[in-house]
Amino acid sequence: MKILYFAWLRERVGTGEEDVTLPDGISTLAGLIAWLRTRSPGHEAAFAAGKLVRAAVNQDFATPDAHVANGDEVAFFPPVTGG
C-alpha cells in the first residue's frame, strides 16, 4: 500500500511517500499507525504528535477505526491551514 506524508509529518518521517506491505492481522488505520511507529525514530516522532495527526484513506478523511487493506492509498498530515 502507498503511504503519503505531508507538512511536518513528511519532514519528521524523512520522506513524502513509501510503499509498504501491510503485515497480517492489521486491518484498521489505528493498527497501521501503531505498526508504522515502529519503523524508525522518524516515524515515531511524527506519530507521537497524536491528536494533531489527521489521516485520509483513498483521499477521504478517515478516523482510527477506518478499514485499511493492501492497495489502499493512506495519507497522514497535520490539521489543514490553507486559505
Partner 1 sequence: MACIRVQTRDIDVGAELAAVSAGRTDIGGVASFVGLVRGTAAGRPILSMTLEHYPGMTERAMTGIADAATRRFQLQACTLIHRVGELHPGETIVLVLAAAPHRQAALDGCAFLIDWLKTSAPFWKKEAFLDGTSAWVDARETDDLAASKWSSIEIA
Residues found near partner 1 in the complex (CB under 8 A): 4, 6-8, 56, 59-60, 75, 77-83
Choice between 25 and 83, CB closer to partner 1: 83
Dist. CA 33–CA 13, nearest whole Å: 13
- How far apart, in Å, are the Cα atoms of 57 and each of 17, 41, 69, 72? 14, 24, 10, 7
Choice between 27 and 59, CB closer to partner 1: 59
Q: Are 60 and 24 in contact (CB under 8 A)?
A: no
Choice between 71 and 82, CB closer to partner 1: 82
CB of 58 to partner 1, least distance (A): 9
